[in-house]
Amino acid sequence: MAIYAQHGYGKSGKIDAALDSGSIDGVIFGARNEKIENIKSCVDNVREKNGKVLLDPQFHVSAINPANDRFLPDYPFYKAGRTSADFIGVKKISSHVKTTLDFELTLQLDKLLSPTVIFDSFESKWCQTALNLADASLDYHASLQGAPPLLLSFVIGEEALESRNELDDFLDQLTSWESMSGAYIIFSREDYSYSQRFKPERLANALYLNYVLASINGLEVINGFTDFCGLLFRSVGSTAFASGWSQGMRQFHTRSFTKQKPGGQQPRLRYTSAPLLNSILLSELQQIYESGNLDQVLSGVPLDEVITGADSPESSDWNAPTSELHHWESLKLIEKQIGEEVPENLSVLDERIATAQELYLMLKNEGVVFGPQTRPDHLEQWSEAIETFREIASL
Amino acid sequence: MPLPTITEGDIKALIPQISSAVEIGHGGQRVVFRATCNGQPIALKFALLSDTFKPDHEDLEVAILRAQRETQILRECTSPHMVKLGPIGMGTTCIAGQNILYYSEEFIDGQTLNDWLRSDGPLHAKEVVRLGLQMCSAIADLWSLRKIHRDIKPGNIMRRSDGTGYVLLDAGLAFDVAGESISAGFLVGTMAYFSPEQFDYTNRRAMDFRSDMFSLGVTLYEAATGQHPFFTPTTTVTHLFSKIMKQNPVPPSSINSAIPATFDKVILRMMGKSPHLRYRRIEQLRDALAQLQEDL
């Protein structure tokens, strides 16, 4: 029912433009990427535009060493280099919770997000720490009068999704908290390269997690740092998802929060194609144009005019800001068509995937060559994941 | 070790307030008497203590104190559908060399749901919903004290003969999820009504009221259809375990066409294989049943 902008580095006018165009419904600010002295005005600005606002405190970065934490050290709840010893005992856990939520309460946020730590196994001590932080957050939130609703945050390494039994136990635990009203879920991706691929068995369990929390247990679920997969999660009942303007804000990687050697390439221009269910390179769109099939891959959103109004994609004024806004517009277009009935949503997804596969095949036959990250591999994975999900959810 | 024979004379000698006692039920390590205490009928229950506790692992006195504490908590239950403790407090005695635990409950004039189903067949859909709502009240009452019953089944539900409804019995087996219980160390209850998580003894502390919800779902299924969802006379223990863990039962409406499809949805959800697939709050189940009641 909503798409949020996942705030990251270099917001410039992107948020305003996206809110004005209606392609996003709100913003999840990241404390790491905004100076503490500016965060209030950022929040107020979104509220003035009637957007929804959340602040991801990104508390989890404190347990990454060495952390690429940018402005986080200025925030009162953050301390670099926390270790497991910093989470032993009720007093320490309660203190982390109080400092984090108290800071969030100084802002006019629509929901509070609890502090958490990253874990890559439901059996790990870090998962237990995440659960302790969540439990303590519920307790502290219950003592606050008139506070916004609380969403419990979890950053789950996708490797954790390998074990269905462990996931079941985790879900049993979460749903036993009667005062829980929702969750902010981030899947930390294993593959650092930007693509829509997701190992089917893991994606099936990710779908199951969203389905159980949102559809079965009626909790509000927001998926952070997601991209096209957010549409899959929405289809099984999650309430909203957040996607950023840069590739690093569309998928969560711990590497993004770890100090790296300087360098790296400037990202290449992309075009988000709703029919292909992928974000392809502009050079690939040019090939498609040259094969005479441009109309079939266009998303059908207002910003397509930048492409269609020019002689060719590569000769158009297509640039990074346009591409970023267009990405949200395209996601929003599909998101708006998602209904409330999970089986029906899955059938629609099946059709979309089949159509995208046919389109990819036709383009291949026309000589269009896609790169390793923009090939249709993800479509088969999604299809397999949906089938597995249907089985485990008895749908 | 079988429970030794307990006579009316034994009881009168043990509890002078008792003027009469007639055995009305005997099963396993327990026996139940209909007794008269100060002119009022009560149910007086005796259980073999040495089989209920593990005296080799813990001090008997400590265990008895814990059991007394638990029954005291149960005294706080307010639901009219939860059996009340009787005037005779929990105590212990020794008969024929055996340690025996005894306690009393209110006497309920009626018959067990199990007996009723055997003699009269399945309940009407409306009555099943009424049963469900009343048992919800009992489960909610226990859960407000952070306790679960662990043995909800037709044999532990009394149908009052005055038609006012149902009462959940055997609260003495209620399990304190935060600590030990009088049944510590044992898988209690009847396996055919066990929730999947009840088979995992090592995981017992993770259990909550949703386990009772599963058992109630099985009970309502049986009450509505006359058939147990997992058990038939030829079912082996292994097969029963496997069915409870993995098999989704057929919808009740496919057995009894008088049952509406909306009813299927509620009952089958109560019997979700994992707690997270069931209702998260007992109020949600109560609302769902109330809606069914309105629709019927």
- pLDDT per residue as tens digits for the range A15-50: 999 999 999 999 999 999 999 999 999 999 999 999
Of the candidates A247, A311, A305, A308, the one whose C-alpha atom is nearest the C-alpha of residue A281 is A247
Could you give the CA distance from residue B102 to residue B49 in angstroms, rounded to a whole number? Answer: 9
| Residue B280 contacts A where some CB pair is shorter than 8 Å | yes
Percent of chain B having pLDDT more than 90? 60
Of A175, A218, A394, Cβ closest to residue B276: A175
Q: What confidence score (pLDDT) does residue B181 get? A: 42
Q: Are the C-beta atoms of B270 and B220 separated by less than 8 Å?
A: yes
The pLDDT mean for chain A works out to 95
pLDDT for the residue numbered B180: 40
What pLDDT score does B63 carry?
59
For residue B184, what pLDDT is reported? 40
Paired tokens of A26: 């709100």
pLDDT of B188 over the 60 cut = no
Q: Is the pLDDT of residue A356 over 60?
A: yes
- Is A124's Cβ below 8 Å from some Cβ in B? no
Identity of the residue in B248, B276, B281 whose CB atom sits nearest the CB atom of A172? B276
ipTM of the complex: 0.89
Lowest mean pLDDT among A38-42, A241-245, B73-77: B73-77
Average pLDDT (B257-282) is: 95
Confidence at B271, pLDDT banded by 50, 70, 90: very high
Give me the mean pLDDT over the A266-289 stretch: 95
In chain A the first and final C-alpha atoms are separated, in Å, by 22
Question: pLDDT digit string (tens) for B115-168?
Answer: 999 999 999 999 999 999 999 999 999 999 888 888 899 999 999 999 899 999
Residue B68 has pLDDT above 50, yes or no: yes
- Give the per-residue SS3 of A40-73: HHHHHHHHHCCCEEEEECCHHHHHCCCECCCCHH
| Chain A nearest-CA residue for B284 | A217
Which pLDDT score, from 0 to 100, does residue B187 have? 42
Q: Are B276 and A174 in contact (CB < 8 Å)? A: yes
Task: Choose the closest CB to B206 out of A172, A178, A212.
Answer: A172
For residues B246-253, average pLDDT = 95
Question: Which of A122, A135, A179, A217 has the most B C-beta neighbours within 10 Å, making it the best mutation to test the interface with B?
Answer: A217
| pTM score | 0.90
Interface test with A, best of B143, B195, B280, B283 (most A CBs within 10 A): B280
CA-wise closest residue to A3 among A273, A276, A338, A256: A338
| Cis peptide upstream of residue A66 (ω within 30 degrees of 0) | yes
Q: How far apart are CA B281 and CA B275, in angstroms?
A: 11
Nearest to B250 by CA among B229, B235, B267, B232: B229
Name the residue with higher pLDDT: B234 or B253: B253
pLDDT, one tens digit per residue, over B273-289 is 999 999 999 999 999 99
| pLDDT given for residue B54 in this prediction | 47
Residues of chain B contacting residue A211, judged by C-beta atoms under 8 Å apart: none
Under an 8 A CB cutoff, do B280 and A394 touch? no
* Mean pLDDT rounded to a whole number for chain B: 85
| Model confidence band, residue A382 (pLDDT cutoffs 50, 70, 90) | very high
Chain A CB within 8 Å of residue B57 CB: no
pLDDT at B52: 45
Residue A374 in this model has a pLDDT that exceeds 80: yes
